[in-house]
């Protein structure tokens, strides 16, 4: 049976490997493994997001929704050491890898958690959310996910999302604006991806 990166407990072997990546200009070594999103490289969408957005808020609560092995989390945590970075993923192997990578890089401001356990960590509102959201979970599930998490933004908070144009970036932008009532601006368009900036309104 095929396995998806949004499986809670991947059944594939969990042997880790080290890869070299560059996160917002910073070369780092990280551990990855099968059964997580883009387990062998920094995927193009995430790279487009990290290259397009300005530094995150220096303090407060930052969220990486769908953290995988942690590239967005690590970039946020390094840029904003005084902020708390909450790395969220349904995949327990992804959460473990993100926590281990953060520890190895000396980033003590990271908390990796499952979505259902994140409520207390973001109770005061999310100041900034970055995500390469799991489009392939299907439109209904994706809309529910974004409705929940974008609804947790602080009054002045905002989200930066990267979505493939071919997988519905423009229709998703319209949905966020019309259904959620959140102003959304296109920050960048590169390599077939849109980077969207969503405001609380």
**pLDDT per residue as tens, the chain (201 positions):** 334 445 555 545 568 899 999 999 999 999 999 889 999 999 999 999 999 999 999 999 999 999 999 999 999 999 999 999 999 999 999 999 999 999 999 999 999 999 999 999 999 999 999 999 999 899 999 999 999 999 999 999 999 999 999 999 999 999 999 999 999 999 999 999 999 999 997
Q: Is residue 38 part of a domain?
A: yes
Element (H, E) at 174: helix 169-179
Residue 81 sits in a domain whose CATH number is 3.40.50.150
Residue 112 falls inside a structural domain: yes
Extract long-range pairs of 18-23: CB within 8 Å, 24+ residues apart: 21/71, 23/50, 23/71, 23/74, 23/75, 23/78
Domain assignment of residue 145, yes or no = yes
pTM above 0.75, yes or no: yes
Residue 32: per-residue pLDDT? 94
Residue 5 is assigned to a structural domain of this protein: no
Q: Is 38 exposed, middle or buried (0-12, 13-18, 19+ CB in 10 A)?
A: middle
Whole-angstrom distance, CA of residue 36 vs CA of residue 142: 18
Does any domain span residue 75? Answer: yes
Answer whether residue 100 is part of any domain. yes
Task: Count how many domains the chain has.
Answer: 1
Backbone phi, psi, residue 76, to 5°: -65, -45
The residue range of the domain holding 143 is 17-199
Across 90-182, the runs of DSSP E, i.e. the strands, are 110-113, 126-131, 153-164
Q: What is the pLDDT of residue 139?
A: 92
Is residue 118 in some structural domain? yes
Residue 12 within any structural domain of the chain: no
């Amino acid at each position: 049976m095929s396995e998806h990166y949004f499986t809670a407990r991947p059944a594939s072997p969990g042997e880790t490997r080290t890869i070299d990546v560059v996160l917002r200009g910073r070369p780092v070594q990280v551990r990855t493994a099968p059964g997580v999103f883009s387990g062998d490289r920094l995927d193009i969408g995430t790279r487009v997001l990290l290259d397009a957005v300005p530094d995150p808020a220096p303090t407060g609560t930052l969220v990486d929704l769908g953290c995988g092995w942690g590239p967005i989390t690590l970039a946020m945590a390094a840029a904003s050491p005084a902020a708390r970075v909450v790395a969220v993923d349904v995949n327990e192997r992804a959460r473990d890898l993100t926590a281990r990578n953060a520890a190895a890089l000396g980033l003590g401001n990271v908390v990796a958690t499952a979505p259902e356990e994140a409520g207390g960590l973001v109770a005061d509102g999310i100041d900034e959310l970055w995500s390469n959201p799991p489009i392939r979970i299907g439109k209904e599930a994706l809309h529910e996910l974004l409705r929940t998490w974008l609804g947790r933004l602080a009054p002045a908070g905002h989200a930066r999302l990267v979505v493939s144009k071919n997988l519905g970036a423009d229709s998703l932008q319209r949905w966020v604006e019309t259904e959620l009532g959140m102003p959304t601006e296109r920050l960048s368009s590169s390599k077939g991806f849109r980077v969207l900036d969503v405001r609380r309104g």
